[in-house]
Structure 1
Amino acid sequence: MSRKLSTVLKLFVPALLLLCTTILLVQVALNALYQEKQDKLSAISVILQHRLSTDPSITNAMAYANQPVLYQQIQNLLDETFPADSDLSGSLYIAQTHQVVAYAPHHNNEALPFKLPGDLQPAELLATIETGKPHFYYTVSVMRGTRIYNYATAVYQAGNVLGVLSVSQTANSIQMQETAIWLSGSAICLIALTLLLAIGVSTYRKEQHLQLEQNNLINWLKSYDGDTLSVNTMNSQLDLLKNLPHAFKDAVDLVHHYRRQQRHALDQLPLGLLTLDATGRVLYTNPFFSQMFGYSGEEVLSWDGTRWQQVYRMLDGTYVSNELRKGRRIENRIGLFRHKNGEEIPFSLTMRELPPVQAQPAGWLLICYDLSKEFTIDRLTQKTQVLLQSVALNVLLLDANQRIEYISPELCTLVGCHESDVVGQHLADAMLWQLPDREHALHEALQKVLANGRRDHLPQGPALLQGREYLLEYDLFPILNPLTQDADGCMIFVKDTTLYQEWEQLSRRVDAHSNYVQMAATIAHEVRNPMTSVRGFLQLLAKDLKGDVQQMYLHVMQTEIDRMNAILTEYLSMARPVQELEWEPIDLASLIRETFLVLEGEANYRGVLLELNLEETHSIEGNARELKQVLINLVRNAFDAIEGPSGRIEIRLRNGVIEVADNGCGMTLEQIERIFEPFFTTKATGTGLGLPVCRKIVETHRGTLEVMSAVEVGTVFTIRF
């Protein structure tokens, strides 16, 4: 009996609480309904008050105390606001006369003004007149003869209360809503009581079953016979008693164990974690979040929405609270979180919804990732890139597969390419340069740097860039992986030494030229004048001496003196200052034709084919005699280089560039490097001054004299202005 009473009490108390809760919720719903009606009537009243204060006809009537016109204008306003088929109505009650002077919706059987008896005047109406404050109340409409909800506000004229403006609604619709609320609450309460009763009955049956099993166990213990009972039999009989409480305890312990493991795992994650409930309140924060931003867990749990918006800002201008209200997830949004010390920490935010519990939203999980290191690396990368672009160095970065990752603007200018055209290509496929006899050496040096992680150097050597030969050095530096210390890339510094070589050659030539000037001046002063006297005496002797042998000796002596004068003339050409030349417009095609006519006879005598190939005319400023001397020297050098009977010399003019090409014996690389040095010659009777003089004349005309030659193939001299 006591067990049944206990079960009944267990069901009665929740049922009573459920009933009280239902009544409370119904009252809350009714209050919300009344509040809604009050807000609605209040809004209409505010609109009417605004119309009363802004309508010119009404304000004029009030100003001149023209009451009939005022009442009529207010009646028109009420008729416009409250149509005949509406459950809303409005009226104006005059406090001094106790009359209703305007009413809408207006019916024919309603006479206005209508005097309101004192016993029918609600206390709220009188309170509105006395205090000037609005009142909302429930009463019976004299005009309609039905119950209404009325909202009364005072109307002023000249600073005094003129009357009361009332806005009302019939109670029929409200009563229907009240009935629906009560019926809904009763139905919900009935369903809940039914479920509670079913749960109680099920619980009672389970307890009855356990009680029956317990009674059977007690009866067995009473009939215990120690002689016939074995241990196995006793264990099987006591299974129910032993297993039920322990199984429940083990299940609870297992749940707590899993929860502790999950909490420990969250505490150890190197990410800032927050869990929020469905309203946005913080429920949990892990230690890494506090470590990231400097706030303790207790501080974070105590923050409200305003405090949260003070410590962080998303770069796109959004807030987590707004996204929570919209129920939208956040994926890797970037923002700044203000550290406790005032520093702004860049972070990435991801927000995911937690699995629902019993079909109810469980909340949200916020994952914060510290981007400080990434931002620092990006900043260093930007600084490095700016540094590489601002320093005039020829830099090339390769990855472990020899693919180009970066090429400096200076190197792009040197090799004649654009960065976007070569980045991502293999070094061999990019064709940045041509290295005669050194492609394999560069490849081996690059492989060695990537293999052993040590720098290497490729010495100076020739390279073809954009059709021109340069002298390049290569310094290769490994880019080491910070974890494995293995080379996973290479940085190549390309040093262009062409300019240095040209400056060295120019310096040597300047020094040599200074010596030539001094030597030429000495020779001109000390040697040329005596030789002129000697040649004059030889001519006098030639008149007196008889005999072929003597005349032959005199002729040889005069010839050698003339040759010495020619050498002196070349010395003086080397020493002649630039300003002494007379400049004039020169048509190169005409100049070459004149030179061709001078040399054509000598070519026929030597059995050499001399050809012209002039594609266009080109004019420059210069000295025609000096340039003609250059062409004559180059062609005569070509005559001396041709040994066979099928010699051929061609003078070409293309785009203002003059070329003298022959198919003679050619020159070696050693000879090419020295042909412009004074006194260097490969001819037995040569002075070694012809080509230096030619080069000096061309450079005086702001041009260059270049040579290309191959043994047994021929030589090409090129003059560029």
Structure 2
Amino acid sequence: MIHAGALVATLAIFLIDLREPLVYAIGILYVLVIVMGLWTSWYGYPIVAAVVATTLLIVDVIVGWGPDTPAFIFVNRPLMALVFVATATLVMHFKRLERRWSADVQQLADIKRALDSAAIVATTDVSGRITYVNDKFCEISRYSREELIGQDHRIINSGYHSKAFMRDLWRTIAAGRIWHGEIRNRAKDGSLYWVDTTIVPFLNEHGKPYQYIAIRADITARKAAEDRLAQQAALARLGQMAAVVAHEVRNPLAGIKGAIQVLMSRRPPGDAEIPVMHDVVGRIDSLSELINDLMVFARPRPPRPGTFHLRPVLVEAISLLRRDPIGRSVEVAIDGDDLTLVADAEMIKATVTNLILNAAQAMSGRGRIAIRVAQQDRQCLLEIHDSGPGIPAELQERVFEPFFTTKARGGGLGLPIARRTAELHGGTLTLASPPGNGTTFTLALPIRALADPVGDVAPAAPVRRT
């Protein structure tokens, strides 16, 4: 289309130039035909157009030459030819720049496409406001692009890192240096994820940042594997210590308890020392329970599966709760179908007892516990919800850490053992605690978690307060 237009324009200029006297210099309009080379893909077009324009200019001079031809024709026509050549040179130069610019733009587009397909990318201004996020950022954060643009990264801050950590990050990039590290973030749905992060400042001519780009890689699985390895190493050491403690402490404790019980039997009724002795026996029992928990956690036995109905197991767990003073006044309701599981019934009972005992303790012995049973695909979902004050967000992940407890008494092993039991059955134990709405623990177990039973069912794991 451009070439046809250029040909028509060239013929029109030539015919007009032939009709008009030479003094009008109509041929200068050939410059416009040469400039049309900016819009054609033919790289040699400007030179060809300049040569054709110069040739037609010469033809016009020859045809229009006469006795009245002014002398300045010998000056302006060569100058016009030089203008044609100069214009063609400039157009070709601009075409080269355009090609180089197009190649650079294409390269940048390829780099962006490669980054977007392999990494989590975001850009921010100097104040930290998000100006761009790619699809992977939206996917891992569970936020839409509209929800993220204009916000700062506090929207995904998990609260895990200290203020000193964040200050060091900002000081580094504000100084124009690249920062690299690992960050734990929180998605919109509350789930946590780890990213290996590199933040690169874009600097202006004064060396000051005007924009930051953060390139991240999801390392959640790697961090989980590292945690498992660390836990396995810790468990190996804990198992050795537990064996020593069980041998060197549990047996003497039994002897001390027996001796105190003998002394109690010799005291007359109403003796002022008897309550003190009862308290000592209670403390010894608590210490024995802690040692039992330590053994169970450090050296868990494999499940011994059996086929059983879930509801009777829940009823037994509630009966165990009623034996504890903290659980006598708590209302407990069971809702849902009576599912049949293939699992270790005693381990499941111990897990449920631990969970409802924790719920009763969280409510200080007053409130309601709702147990809901449901089947989802091939899984049994057992939800235990209490009407207590809930668990603060910063503690929700820590409650599953061994030896972590917020209670004055307790070894902090109840919930870790419960989660270990779920994992041994191929399931999960999670919690949700929205502000002001109590706490819900969800035990998810495959309907046929284990193979069909062989042999007797083992004794239950000890019930422990966390």
Tell me the TM-score range normalised by the shorter chain: 0.5 to 0.7
Q: Which amino acid aligns with 1:607?
A: S
Aligned positions of 1:358-377 closer than 5 A? 373=100, 376-377=103-104
Cα deviation, residue 632, structure 1: 0.8
For residues 681 and 694 of structure 1, the distance between their equivalents in structure 2, rounded to whole angstroms, comes to: 14
Residue 384 in structure 1 maps to residue 96 in structure 2: no
Cα deviation, residue 629, structure 1: 1.0
SS for the counterpart of 2:410 is coil
Tell me the residue number matched to 2:134: 407
For residues 372 and 712 of structure 1, the distance between their equivalents in structure 2, rounded to whole angstroms, comes to: 62
Residue 599 in structure 1 maps to residue 321 in structure 2: yes
Aligned positions of 1:64-463 closer than 5 A? 252-269=70-87, 373=100, 376-377=103-104, 380-381=107-108, 383-385=110-112, 387-388=114-115, 392-396=118-122, 404=132, 407=134, 410-411=136-137, 413-415=139-141, 428=149, 434-435=155-156, 460=183, 462-463=185-186
For residues 206 and 291 of structure 2, the distance between their equivalents in structure 1, rounded to whole angstroms, comes to: 73
Q: TM-score, normalised by structure 2?
A: 0.59
Whether contact under 8 Å (1:660, 1:718) holds in the other structure is yes
Q: Which amino acid aligns with 1:261?
A: L
Whether contact under 8 Å (1:272, 1:369) holds in the other structure is no
SS for the counterpart of 1:577 is coil
Residues 619 and 536 (structure 1), Cα distance of their counterparts in 2 relative to 1, 3 Å cut: same
Residues 631 and 375 (structure 1), Cα distance of their counterparts in 2 relative to 1, 3 Å cut: same
For residues 196 and 67 of structure 2, the distance between their equivalents in structure 1, rounded to whole angstroms, comes to: 80
Whether contact under 8 Å (2:355, 2:384) holds in the other structure is yes
Tell me the residue number matched to 1:622: 343
Tell me the residue number matched to 1:523: 245
For residues 684 and 537 of structure 1, the distance between their equivalents in structure 2, rounded to whole angstroms, comes to: 27
Tell me the residue number matched to 1:509: 231
Residues 643 and 250 (structure 1), Cα distance of their counterparts in 2 relative to 1, 3 Å cut: farther
Q: Which digits, 9 at most, give the CA deviation of each residue in 1:592-615, with x for residues without a partner?
A: 34434543676896422222233x
Tell me the residue number matched to 2:192: 469
For residues 697 and 583 of structure 1, the distance between their equivalents in structure 2, rounded to whole angstroms, comes to: 12
Cα deviation, residue 636, structure 1: 1.2
Tell me the residue number matched to 1:610: 332
Tell me the residue number matched to 1:703: 427
Tell me the residue number matched to 1:715: 439
Residues 437 and 668 (structure 1), Cα distance of their counterparts in 2 relative to 1, 3 Å cut: closer
SS for the counterpart of 2:358 is helix
Residues 252 and 677 (structure 1), Cα distance of their counterparts in 2 relative to 1, 3 Å cut: same
Tell me the residue number matched to 1:568: 291
Whether contact under 8 Å (1:415, 1:432) holds in the other structure is no
Tell me the residue number matched to 1:653: 373
Q: Which amino acid aligns with 2:388?
A: G
Q: Please, which runs of 5 or more residues in structure 1 have no aligned partner?
A: 1-247, 274-287, 293-366, 439-444
Residue 640 in structure 1 maps to residue 361 in structure 2: yes
Cα deviation, residue 590, structure 1: 5.3
Q: Please, which runs of 5 or more residues in structure 2 have no aligned partner?
A: 1-65, 160-166, 446-466
Cα deviation, residue 676, structure 1: 3.1
SS for the counterpart of 1:698 is helix
Q: Which amino acid aligns with 2:298?
A: A
Cα deviation, residue 637, structure 1: 1.6
As a proportion of its length, which structure holds more strand?
1
Tell me the residue number matched to 2:416: 692
For residues 267 and 499 of structure 1, the distance between their equivalents in structure 2, rounded to whole angstroms, comes to: 65
Whether contact under 8 Å (2:403, 2:412) holds in the other structure is yes
Q: Which amino acid aligns with 1:704?
A: T
SS for the counterpart of 1:269 is helix
Q: Which amino acid aligns with 1:630?
A: T
Could you say which structure has the larger radius of gyration? Answer: 1
Residues 467 and 657 (structure 1), Cα distance of their counterparts in 2 relative to 1, 3 Å cut: farther
SS for the counterpart of 2:186 is strand
Cα deviation, residue 556, structure 1: 5.7
For residues 487 and 551 of structure 1, the distance between their equivalents in structure 2, rounded to whole angstroms, comes to: 75
For residues 289 and 99 of structure 2, the distance between their equivalents in structure 1, rounded to whole angstroms, comes to: 81
Whether contact under 8 Å (2:388, 2:439) holds in the other structure is yes
For residues 526 and 601 of structure 1, the distance between their equivalents in structure 2, rounded to whole angstroms, comes to: 30
Q: Which digits, 9 at most, give the CA deviation of each residue in 1:450-495, with x for residues without a partner?
A: xx995786984533245533355765445679x9999897643135
Q: Which amino acid aligns with 1:653?
A: V
Aligned-residue identity in percent? 25
**Aligned residue pair count:** 362
Tell me the residue number matched to 1:225: none
Q: Which digits, 9 at most, give the CA deviation of each residue in 1:650-707, with x for residues without a partner?
A: 2233433333222224444554454333333333332322222222222222333333
Whether contact under 8 Å (2:125, 2:211) holds in the other structure is yes
For residues 469 and 416 of structure 1, the distance between their equivalents in structure 2, rounded to whole angstroms, comes to: 11
For residues 664 and 720 of structure 1, the distance between their equivalents in structure 2, rounded to whole angstroms, comes to: 22
Cα deviation, residue 571, structure 1: 1.9
For residues 251 and 559 of structure 1, the distance between their equivalents in structure 2, rounded to whole angstroms, comes to: 128
Tell me the residue number matched to 2:459: none
For residues 141 and 395 of structure 2, the distance between their equivalents in structure 1, rounded to whole angstroms, comes to: 29
For residues 399 and 683 of structure 1, the distance between their equivalents in structure 2, rounded to whole angstroms, comes to: 45
Whether contact under 8 Å (1:463, 1:472) holds in the other structure is no
For residues 456 and 648 of structure 1, the distance between their equivalents in structure 2, rounded to whole angstroms, comes to: 53
Superposition RMSD in Å: 5.1
Tell me the residue number matched to 2:42: none
SS for the counterpart of 2:187 is strand
Whether contact under 8 Å (1:600, 1:610) holds in the other structure is no
Whether contact under 8 Å (2:124, 2:213) holds in the other structure is yes
Q: TM-score, normalised by structure 1?
A: 0.40
Residues 527 and 412 (structure 1), Cα distance of their counterparts in 2 relative to 1, 3 Å cut: same
Q: Which digits, 9 at most, give the CA deviation of each residue in 1:534-585, with x for residues without a partner?
A: 5566677777x36334877776665554444323321221133343x31234
Q: Which amino acid aligns with 1:520?
A: A
Q: Which amino acid aligns with 1:575?
A: A
Residues 517 and 262 (structure 1), Cα distance of their counterparts in 2 relative to 1, 3 Å cut: same
For residues 516 and 266 of structure 1, the distance between their equivalents in structure 2, rounded to whole angstroms, comes to: 89
Residues 371 and 599 (structure 1), Cα distance of their counterparts in 2 relative to 1, 3 Å cut: same
Whether contact under 8 Å (1:433, 1:464) holds in the other structure is no
Q: Which structure is higher in RCO with an 8 Å CA cutoff and minimum separation 6?
A: 2
Q: Which amino acid aligns with 1:583?
A: P
For residues 711 and 537 of structure 1, the distance between their equivalents in structure 2, rounded to whole angstroms, comes to: 49
Q: Which amino acid aligns with 2:100?
A: K
Residues 372 and 617 (structure 1), Cα distance of their counterparts in 2 relative to 1, 3 Å cut: farther
Whether contact under 8 Å (1:524, 1:568) holds in the other structure is yes
Q: Which amino acid aligns with 1:648?
A: R
